[in-house]
Amino acid sequence: MPNREKVSLQLSEDNRKEFFEIRIYICIAVFLVLFFLILARVWHLQIFNGKRWRVFSEANRIELKKIPAVRGKIVDRNGVILAKSSPSFDLMINAQKLSNADKERILVFLGDVFDWSTEKKETVRNKIERNSNQSKITLERDITFDQMSKILTHQYDLHGVNIDYEPTRVYPYGVLASHILGYLGEIGKKELNRMKEDEGTADNRQYGLGDYWGVYGIEKKHENVLRGKHGTLPVVEDARGRELSDEKAYDLLPSFQEQKPISGQDVKLSIDSRLQKVFEDAFLKHESGAAVLLNIETGEILAMLSYPNFKPQEFARGVSTQYWQEINKNNLNPMYNRAVKGVYPPGSTFKMITAHAALEEKVIGPEDKIFCPGYYRLGREVKRCWNRGGHGWMNAKNAIKHSCDVYFYEVGRRLGIDKIAEYARKYDLGQVTGIQYQPEAKGLVPDSKWKRKVYEQPWVAGETLSVAIGQGYLQTSVLQMARMVGGLAKGYLVTPSLEYMEINQKVNRKKVDLPNEIQEIILQGMYDVVNTPGGTAYWGGRSNKIEIAGKTGTAQVVSFRAKKQLEDHAWYVAYAPAQDPKVAAAIIVEHGGHGGAVAAPIIKKVMDAYKEYYIDE
């Protein structure tokens, strides 16, 4: 028995020894495998891919380069391109990569390529010094292909010099519809900081310093649609600031994937560039004013002009100091949109509202007549009619035709200011039209309550007479007046829009409480203004192509600084065709004189063109 125990113990010790020896062999094997794996990796890196990683070790800048998105086009209702983006190439330099010797050598070379003057070279040198801590400094924008080829040919020697692609906004028709299209502006530090501070602006995160975005007009309103989405591309620069090829960049940065840019969407406008051009060409001989052609069935604006205009192309890549000074020195303020922001006394174009109020309130009958001797006496005050010789006996229809001031003085006195204001507001005068294009002026429809609040004085009867003929405190915009004419012609108001409307698209209409018998009198009077002898637009507004109904007006202008009467503003409002109204127009030629002689011929040209393009086709 003792011998058995001894043998068993000896066997156990032998087993343990064998087990430990096996573990040692396993550890040695694992160590050897790991050693050879490391050795193989070192050989792979140092020998097989040594050149590749030697290049990578020299690289000291790795970034995701922005690939600019192509901005969407803006087209008119017929697909004519009014704004688009075209390729542009900019010369950039990385001042961080350059020694002073390199800078001077590069400046000499670039000076020869771009034919820089001594002053220009000094300006560029100072710009580089001021921005020496920046990785990208723009030296030239929109370089030519010839200039680009010369730079690329010597790319190896131009340390830190690169060419960036940037789509540039192009406006093929120059100043055409400039206030509608608007322009782009460069994003500065203030705008960028404001974006970061605003909450809920995730879409703005793709903007960076120096990017361009819409700051005015349609370019601003539809920025989110037009801008698209930038892409990204992995970029590796070597120690001298030279970008490696895309193939090498991908080879060195396999984990990065290119994100292709998404182009912006196109925006289709309601305007017709042909009608817009008729407006703009007709205004060339005048200094300033505004005009609108409105589809009174849909609310689409077919043409809208503010004059003088500006060159949106000048803002596409940063406005020059010279052009900005030219704009600011122009006393007529070309950047001001007179069509929606300008407000003026509407003059005699307002008389239809007074007629509506007088007839509906029955302060006078349709055939009741008022005698016009050429003047109107109210107490000790005497107001003159524009026709100093007088019009004789006038009823409502003839008073509109001849624009008799005395008739409207009298019915205005009978109505009182508050009733006139009530009917003006039925046509939304003194209110924004809802165009949703850019902030618009409300204008003013005064009443007795308003004057007491603003001036702390009671309303007086003489002020009512002025408002009754569209003068005094009354202020309206050109767009409001075009909409008002549509309300008279159709019995409802439409919301003006610059957006193209598809067929059967829902239209917002606001009914005007205009009795048919009163509407007939007003519209007949407007027809006679243009189409019968003695009408105030008979010579200037009558067309042999399309029947137009309208109303002329002049608005008195007084310079409070100079304390003198200036040349009157020339007004004209109209609709056509007279028997089946489709469009309405309103125009003001600032300091143009008489509406029938100056403003009506312009609308006639536009209405003739409308017939050619929309009725005869």
Name 301's bridge partners.
294
pLDDT of residue 147: 86
pLDDT of residue 326: 94
H or E segment to which residue 146 belongs: helix 145-153
Structure tokens at 80: 């004519």
pLDDT-flagged residues of the chain (< 70):
1-20, 41-64, 97, 133-135, 197-205, 234-257, 558-565, 617
pLDDT of residue 368: 97
Pairwise CA distance, residues 218 & 220, whole Å: 5
Pairwise CA distance, residues 518 & 320, whole Å: 56
pTM, two decimal places: 0.83
Name 327's bridge partners.
none
- The helix/strand/coil state of 358 is helix
pLDDT of residue 67: 81
- The helix/strand/coil state of 444 is strand
Reference 471, options 401, 392, 383; nearest CA is 383
> Do 435 and 442 contact (CB within 8 A), yes or no?
no
The CA-to-CA distance between both ends of the chain, in Å, stands at 126
| E strand intervals along 10-124 | 61-67, 74-75, 81-86, 89-93
**Helices 351-360 and 417-426, packing angle to 10 deg:** 110
* Omega before 68 within 30 of 0, i.e. cis: no
Query: pLDDT tens, 268-298?
Result: 999 999 999 999 999 988 999 999 999 999 9
pLDDT of residue 30: 74
pLDDT of residue 59: 47
